[in-house]
């Protein structure tokens, strides 16, 4: 997309004040990260050391939502890019976000770039000095066009323009245009960027130690979702929904496949998901392993973690912490 096409696209995108129009409203997230809560109100537990069960997920700048009502500075929304499977139906993930964390929009932009590094800075596109406008999480999608000298011009929610280093972003490509070999290699490289990040229940962003409100980082399923999203593959929100949407693997998982853990012999009770990195290595965002606190993104050995080498697993087989089910989005 060149700068002339971007200018035309920007002229077609209209932003409105929150009070304009009637409900429901098309909106996009206008801040780098926002919490989605099960009911209006800030986090009760503002710490990585405890679980806040009212936290549903997080949304990144530019994510599409539908807003249905406003109450005391909070919007009731559905997240159009985060689905869940429940009661034998697919639903949009729902909850409440702060009212000033989204802007109304006439038409959703067709974003063409995605942030592929942990944290990417966007700078002012005007003037002689580069003033930082915002910092964006890996997995954030943007509408932009290439400029000379290694920069891209991007449109931020609210109509402001900025520039971002080309090395920080990649073009959103369809899975069909990329080989399985490249997909599996790339997803492991992305997953390893998260190693050491703290576990955050309901988290859906890359850990930014310089941001405290909201807290940033990921839980098990949002870790998997962001790794795939960076490759242009959209996954559902939680681990059970991801299994439902995946291509089922019967046995002998390969690099890039997903290992799901259920508390029973039924997929409906899947509570955790891990990425297989090959050579009996698993990467996961986990709170506990064998009852011991971990609370971060870690690598683990399959034989030690599950009691059996990962490449020899069969879907429906019992392992140390439950029953394993296998799926993939890469092949």
Domains of the chain with CATH codes: 1-172 (2.30.30.40), 175-328 (3.90.1720.10)
Predicted local distance difference test score (pLDDT) of residue 206: 98
Predicted TM-score (pTM) of the model is 0.94
| Residue 153: strand pairing partners | 145, 163
d(CA 15, CA 155): 12
Predicted local distance difference test score (pLDDT) of residue 7: 53
d(CA 197, CA 216): 9
Predicted local distance difference test score (pLDDT) of residue 128: 66
Reduced to 3 states (helix: H, G, I; strand: E, B; else coil), residue 106 is: coil
Predicted local distance difference test score (pLDDT) of residue 2: 52
Query: Please, how many CA atoms are within 13 Å of residue 74, restricted to the half-sphere of its CB?
Result: 15
Which region holds residue 290: left if phi is over 0, alpha if psi is between -120 and 50, else beta?
left
Predicted local distance difference test score (pLDDT) of residue 17: 47
- pLDDT per residue, tens digit, the chain (331 aa), is 455 445 545 544 555 544 456 899 999 999 999 999 999 998 887 889 888 999 999 999 999 999 999 999 999 999 999 999 999 999 999 999 999 999 999 999 999 999 999 999 999 977 667 899 999 999 999 999 998 889 999 999 988 899 999 999 999 987 767 899 999 999 999 999 999 999 999 999 999 999 989 999 999 999 999 999 999 999 999 999 999 999 999 999 999 999 999 999 999 999 999 999 999 999 999 998 888 889 999 999 999 999 999 999 999 999 999 999 999 999 9
Q: With residue 8 as reference, give the H or E element that holds it.
A: helix 3-12
How does DSSP assign 36-92, residue by residue?
A: EESSSS--SS-STTS--TTEEEEEETT-EEEEEEEETTEEEEEEEEEEEEETTEEEE
């Amino acid at each position: 997309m060149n700068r002339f096409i971007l200018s035309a696209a920007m002229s077609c995108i209209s932003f409105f004040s929150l009070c304009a129009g009637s409900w429901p409203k098309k909106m996009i997230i206008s801040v780098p990260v926002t919490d989605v809560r099960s009911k209006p109100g800030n986090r009760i537990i503002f710490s990585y050391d405890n679980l806040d069960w009212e936290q549903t997920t997080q949304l990144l700048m530019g994510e599409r939502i539908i807003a249905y009502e406003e109450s005391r500075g909070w919007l009731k929304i559905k997240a159009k890019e985060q689905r869940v499977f429940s009661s034998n139906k697919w639903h949009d993930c729902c909850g409440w976000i702060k009212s000033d964390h989204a802007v109304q929009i006439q038409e959703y932009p067709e974003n063409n770039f995605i942030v592929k590094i942990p944290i990417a800075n966007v700078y002012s596109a005007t003037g002689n000095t580069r003033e930082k406008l915002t910092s964006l999480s890996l997995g954030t999608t943007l509408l932009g066009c290439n400029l000379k000298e290694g920069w891209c011009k991007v449109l931020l929610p609210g109509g402001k323009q900025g520039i971002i280093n080309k090395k920080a972003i990649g073009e959103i490509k369809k899975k069909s245009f990329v080989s399985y070999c490249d997909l599996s290699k790339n997803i492991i490289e992305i997953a390893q960027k998260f190693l050491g990040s703290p576990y955050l229940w309901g988290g859906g962003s890359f850990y930014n130690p310089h941001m405290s409100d909201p807290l940033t980082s990921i839980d098990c399923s949002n870790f998997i979702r962001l790794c795939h999203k960076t490759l242009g593959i959209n996954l559902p929100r939680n681990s059970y929904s991801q299994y439902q949407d995946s291509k089922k693997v019967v046995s002998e998982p390969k690099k890039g496949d997903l290992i799901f853990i259920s508390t029973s012999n039924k997929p409906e009770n899947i509570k955790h998901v891990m990425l297989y990195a090959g050579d009996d290595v698993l990467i996961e965002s986990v709170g506990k392993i064998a009852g011991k606190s971990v609370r971060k993104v870690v690598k683990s050995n399959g034989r030690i973690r599950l009691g059996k080498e990962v490449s020899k697993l069969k879907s429906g087989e019992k392992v140390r912490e439950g029953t394993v089910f296998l799926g993939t989005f890469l092949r």
